[in-house]
Amino acid sequence: MYNRFLKWLRNSTKLEKAIVITIIVLAGVAAIFFIETGEETYPPPAPTVTPEPAPVQTPTVITSKIQKIGHLGNGNSFDMVEANGYLYAGQGTEVRVYDTSSESKIAQLDWKDYVFRINTEYLVRALYIDSGYLYIANTKRLVILDISSPSSPVMVSYIEPLTSKSAQLRDVEIKGNYAFLSAPGAGVLVVDISDKKNPVLAAKLKLGGYNRPRRLTTSDNYLYVAMESDNRLDIIDITDPVNPSIRGSWSADSGNSSLSGVAVEGKYAYVAEYHKGVHVVDISDPENPIGVTKLMGINANDIKILDNYAYVSVRYQGFDIIDISNPPDIKIIGKGTGIKGYIEGIFPTSRYTFVAAESKGLVIYDTSDVKEPGLMVTIPVVGGADSVALKDNYLYIGAHNDGVWVVDVSNPAEPREVAFINSGGRNEGVEIQGNYLFAASDWGGLNTIDITDPENPELVVNRYGDNIDGNALPDGDYLYTSIYYPTKSLGVISMSDPKKLVYVSKSAYNTSKSRFAKYGQDYLLAAVAGGSRGLHIFDISEKTNPVPVSVFDSGVAYKDVAISGNTAFALTGSSIVTLDISNAANPVLLNKIDYSGAWSGRSVDIYNNIAYAAGGPTGDIRVFDITDPSNIKLIDTFDLPENAEDIRYSDGKLFVAAGKAGAYILSVPIAD
């Protein structure tokens, strides 16, 4: 540049040279005057603020989008079936196969004892076995497996028959060369399965009212459909399966409650009214079904018939066995008990009864004596992934019910469970400090787990203290909790010895349903969704005495917050906000993006000026460039089969809790 200036100067006119020399001289005089007098220029420069250190990065240009690396699909169980000594159980998005060929094998079953598993990608809702094939209805697909070799089924094909993104498959029934599927909002779907490798949607039938079919069964040339919300049993003529037609309907006349299951024996249909009881309906004339009797006071869900008995799954109990040898006078003769949770599908055999207990797992009873069912074994499942934490090559999943799971992710494409800590409660937040994991377990209090040996973890503190929700954030020798019972407050626990926890402070601040983040050494941010809603900032320079400094958006529920430098990135409702918190007493809104009706955030993590947010129901994972917090930019999204509940970044990967669909390992967007 200097040589070009000299060249220009040589070729310039005398007037141009004179102007340039004058400018240089005046600039020099002004500089000397400022140095000697110390007078400031106008306007004066802004005071210098030393920010919290934050990574510096230029605006991101994405060259590769989020990709799925691995998926542990183990989750809630809604249905199971048994054939030839093997149990096929839906567990989240997976189907796992267990050897149940003898009493001794059943008695020893645990979560690690499956002989085969297959991931169907979406939440499994119903199973049906027919002629050597297993038919799986997950929320989006009908999947067909060849189970001629029970310990190693083979995927044959699948079809996605739904055109509406909001509709989901709920049940499957097979008759001849056709599969009948229920789909609330869409009706009954008929799939031609004569060619197992190429199933084809053959017909759709929209039903009346809310059009929400639940469970199905067939008898002769009729399909019987239990309807949700309408409290109605529809009888469909399937003599010509590709042209199904409604022949008759029966209503329990109980308002807008739901029928959840139906089974047929002879000229009677036995219908489960959700949460209420069982009805007997005479279906000898399909066009004019007539209610015969009912047995109420049963928290009923599913119903199956074997011989002269109806087996009814009963929530918060197990199941009832009802003698139906005299249909007008049915009566309970046996009860399966011992399950304190939701009970879904039931499958009786001549010796055993298998129960899908949703988040509580798979339960097997000996029902050789129908009057005295005996609980044999419970197989735990990851009953909903609510929260995640990561250390080294192990992922820790806080389950919706009962405890914490440890997953080996050294091969992220093939995550596998290696341990389960049955600590109880609902584990809404798991955090790690050193060799200890702290689980905020709702009614299960605070649980401390020694993870020095991840594959042999030790529960060292169980159900300590009050009921807490949100997350429990460790901070050196102290830990912050969100107490909601018996008194809503911000709790501080001394844990200088993690095996001996002591509450040292329970403030009067109603911060229930809070998730916490540290800002520097002296401030704690609480995103409060219950109680005193808003984004709260506390001075914790004295750890045992948090002092409120400010509240942003008082009265508005905030779900989570993460910090980058002097910027807070927070989630509230369908919105994302960034705040300047350099003055903790006066946080300032920098930017706000709203996704009303499309997405609601639940969790956020930040790394290197990129914010990773989890939520749903669409674009469940959302990635933002926050290099300029006043102008944050959405740079990528990723859809999951269920809402994303929690998210953590580690070593170039995202670890996501996806509720009933288990846990995902995702790549992060790659920047140019």
Q: pLDDT of 55-64, one tens digit each? A: 444 555 666 7
User: DSSP letters of 327-346?
Assistant: GGG-EEEEEE----S----E
Q: Which residues sit opposite 439 in a β-bridge?
A: 430, 447
Please compute the mean of the pLDDT values over residues 102-127 and round it to a whole number: 98
The answer to whether residue 672 scores a pLDDT higher than 70 is no
Give just the sign of the alpha carbon dihedral 54, 55, 57, 63.
negative
Residue 361 phi/psi, 5-degree rounding, is: 110, -160
Contacts of 416 (CB under 8 A, 6+ apart): 72, 407, 408
Q: Considering the domain boundaries, does residue 293 fall inside one? A: yes
Pair 274, 244 in one domain: yes
Total number of domains in the chain:
3
Q: Considering the domain boundaries, does residue 61 fall inside one? A: no
Closest CA to 580 of 628, 530, 510, 629: 629
The answer to whether residue 44 scores a pLDDT higher than 70 is no
User: DSSP letters of 125-172?
Assistant: EEEEEETTEEEEEESS-EEEEE-SSTTS-EEEEEE-----SS----EE
Pair 374, 458 in one domain: no
Q: Which residue, 322, 357, 379, sits at the end of a domain? A: 379
Rg (CA), the chain: 31
CA angle centred on 168, ends 162 and 172, rounded to 5°:
85
The answer to whether residue 43 scores a pLDDT higher than 50 is no
Mean pLDDT, all residues of the chain: 92
d(CA 605, CA 73): 23
Read off the pLDDT band of 19 (50, 70, 90).
very low
Q: For residue 454, give the CATH number of its domain.
A: 2.130.10.10
Pair 530, 608 in one domain: yes
Task: Calculate the CA dihedral of residues 298, 301, 307, 309 and round it to 10 degrees.
Answer: -10
d(CA 500, CA 258): 49
Pair 22, 112 in one domain: no
Pair 22, 123 in one domain: no
pLDDT of res. 288: 98
Read off the pLDDT band of 1 (50, 70, 90).
very low
Pair 343, 398 in one domain: no
Query: Can you read off the two tokens belonging to residue 628?
Result: 């300029």
Pair 472, 555 in one domain: yes
pTM of the model: 0.89
Q: Considering the domain boundaries, does residue 324 fall inside one? A: yes
Q: Residue 604: which H helix or E strand, with range?
A: strand 599-607
Read off the pLDDT band of 565 (50, 70, 90).
very high
Q: Which residue has the tokens 């109880």?
A: 424
Q: Which residues sit opposite 568 in a β-bridge?
A: 563, 579
Contacts of 392 (CB under 8 A, 6+ apart): 454
State CA 115 to chain mean position distance. Answer: 26
Give just the sign of the alpha carbon dihedral 460, 465, 470, 474.
negative
Q: Are 303 and 338 in contact (CB under 8 A)?
A: no
Read off the pLDDT band of 257 (50, 70, 90).
confident
For residue 109, the enclosing domain spans: 73-379
Strand order in the sheet with 588-594: 560-564, 567-572, 575-580, 588-594
Read off the pLDDT band of 531 (50, 70, 90).
confident
